[in-house]
Amino acid sequence: MPSALDPDLLAQLPPALRAAVEAQVQALALENAELRTRNARLEHLVRELQRARFGPRSEKLHPDQMELAFEDIEVALAAATEENDAAAESRTGDRPARTPRGPRRLPKDLPREERVLVPEDLICPCGCGDMVRIGEDRSERLDVTPAQFRLIVTIRPRYACPKGRAGIRQAPPAPALIEGGLATEALLAHVAVAKFADHLPLYRQSQIMARQGVEIDRSTLADWMGKVSFHIAPIVDRMAVLLKRSARLFADETTMPVLDPGAGKTKKGFIWAMLRDDRPWGGSDPPGVVFTYAPGRAGIHAEEMLKGFEGVLQVDGYQGYNRLADGRRAEGGRVRLAFCWAHARRKLIEARPSAGSPFVDEALRRIAEFYAIEKEIRGQAPEARHAVRQERSKPLLEAMHPWLVQQAARLSKKSDLGMAAAYVLDHWPGLILFA
């Protein structure tokens, strides 16, 4: 019991009251300990958010720091403010030296429209006549033509025998994705790309069209996208079949807000992706990715998406993929899960206290050795890479595992460092699969 309580005073209390006081003190002590633990955890999270927000964006041992989307906006805003201030100073005569910029990278085949600005008066002041052209200055500005709507009027003349001896001839209607519909294939593609690639909701597209006087209701746009999805589904299905014939795939999932009409808000869905990209190691199969929407994140959705695939699947540490490798899979053989060292590094970096950690520093140093080897052999033939990994990477992994086990035994399992070490050890079979 805490020393703050006077034992003599407690002894004077009735037994029942003394027991109640002691129980209350013990409960408060336990609650206080839990609050201290929670406070330490919150302080750690604040440090991580500050590091992600204000820390370096790239460094050799810290390439996995979070990059917040609004950082780019803030940088652009700061640059625009600086340029505006510089322009104001130039008007007052105090213009600082401007940092030279690198060349703009624009497509060489970009259409160019030349506009020549000629002085209104070319008569030479000396009275000799008109001035002659001796050179020119050129400058380029990027321009855009906003989307313009137009109506394609298709005319099919009817022809008949002038003497009335034969029937009428007329060209058949042009094939259309939506028979008798208003939208051309170009407009359908425009709406689809804006929605699925640029994440522009249909109601916003409807508003944009209305600004140009084209009133297309959101329900009509949704109907168009339904028909587009129907026609493109066989292509997507075929892509999925070809991808699942691969020896290795990547898979990942992330949240996606989904409009919930009538509710006045969005609901959370999940977009699942399976990807093939053999270009880094000189593979001959073309890259490809297929996205699948699911209302949740349960592993059954991963199983459904990867039905028929047998091979190596590289994923993060999400446990939902485990059902593909532990025998719970309804169809197909087991999948070998390969885990990502970048996620393991991130766990270690996030667990490192502000005062530093020799354990984390040494772990990152060892992992950096794997990365250095991979950098050397990137682009080489699979056989060559495998030979190098067997010769150089495998011994490093074999030496790292017992060291990691030893270090983990010294750490509290409930501490951030202990949980980071446990994460690496729990995923060890999949982490060393590359070697």
Return the higher-pLDDT residue of 178 and 56: 178
pLDDT at position 92: 58
CA distances to 98, 105, 137, 139 from 101, rounded to whole Å, are 9, 12, 19, 15
Confidence check: pLDDT of 31 > 90: no
Where do the domains of the chain lie? 184-232, 244-339, 340-435
Give the 3-state secondary structure of residue 33.
Answer: helix
What pTM value is reported for the model?
0.65
Give the 3-state secondary structure of residue 415.
Answer: coil
Closest CA to 332 of 341, 323, 342, 343: 323
Return the higher-pLDDT residue of 357 and 90: 357
Q: Which amino acid is at 44?
A: H
Q: How far apart are CA 313 and CA 198, in angstroms?
A: 28
CA distances to 316, 317, 337, 339, 352 from 347, rounded to whole Å, are 12, 11, 19, 13, 9
Task: Show Cβ contacts of residue 273 under 8 Å, excluding neighbours closer than 6 positions.
Answer: 250, 251, 252, 253, 289, 290, 291, 292
**Phi and psi of 273, rounded to 5°?**
-130, 135
pLDDT at position 276: 94
Taking every pair of C-alpha atoms in the chain, what is the biggest distance, in angstroms? Answer: 129
At residue 81 the predicted structure's pLDDT band, cuts being 50, 70 and 90, is low
Region 384-390 average pLDDT? 92
At residue 157 the predicted structure's pLDDT band, cuts being 50, 70 and 90, is very high
Q: How far apart are CA 402 and CA 408, in angstroms?
A: 10
Lowest mean pLDDT across 68-82, 314-328, 344-358: 68-82
Q: What is the pLDDT of residues 390-424, one digit of tens each?
A: 999 999 999 999 999 999 999 988 899 999 999 99
| Token representation of residue 249 | 């795939």
Q: Which residue has the tokens 């009409």?
A: 261
Q: How far apart are the first and last CA of the chain?
A: 55
